[in-house]
Amino acid sequence: MQFMLLFSRQGKLRLQKWYVPLSDKEKKKITRELVQTVLARKPKMCSFLEWRDLKIVYKRYASLYFCCAIEDQDNELITLEIIHRYVELLDKYFGSVCELDIIFNFEKAYFILDEFLLGGEVQETSKKNVLKAIEQADLLQEVYNFSILEGAGYLKDLLI
């Protein structure tokens, strides 16, 4: 996978993850082109399209489009499954994810994506394991936040 974009029906970019090095100018150009192209397509049209030397795979969930660019030899159906798995992970974490969850908790959305994908490839197929890792990170963050408020001594005692 080259990149993943999440954008709204209004064309607002909500999340972007790039797995290939590109300049900011090129990223903006690609994003603008793809958002316009995908939003212009009719709902009954195929979710795959050829674009430049890549294949674009996208799926709409409620008001959000999840869009991935893959290489020619990559499988479109597996990419659709990757998109769906990511949405399932977001749903499990947020409890029926919506666009506002992505807007106000974008760092969590990125963290979930990073636990699931590494370098554009699936690193963990188990939803349970991904969610467990996220839960552990949340717990660690809570302990850290608490230790700042209550003093560093609490964290030291907890870890011993």
Q: What are the 10-residue block averages of pLDDT along the chain, 160 residues in total?
A: 97 97 97 96 93 95 96 96 96 93 95 94 91 90 74 56
**pTM for this prediction:** 0.86
Determine the pLDDT at residue 125: 87
- The count of structural domains within the chain is 1
Determine the pLDDT at residue 145: 76
Please enumerate in sequence order all residues whose Cβ is within 8 A of that of 30, keeping only pairs 6 or more positions apart, or say none. Answer: 3, 22
Determine the pLDDT at residue 149: 64
Determine the pLDDT at residue 157: 58
CA distance 79 to 117: 12
Determine the pLDDT at residue 142: 83
Determine the pLDDT at residue 159: 58
In a domain, 110, yes or no: yes
**CATH number of the domain enclosing 126:** 3.30.450.60
In a domain, 157, yes or no: no
CA distance 38 to 11: 10
| Measured torsion, CA atoms of residues 105, 108, 110, 111, in degrees rounded to the nearest 10 | 170
Owning domain of residue 96? 3-152
Determine the pLDDT at residue 6: 98
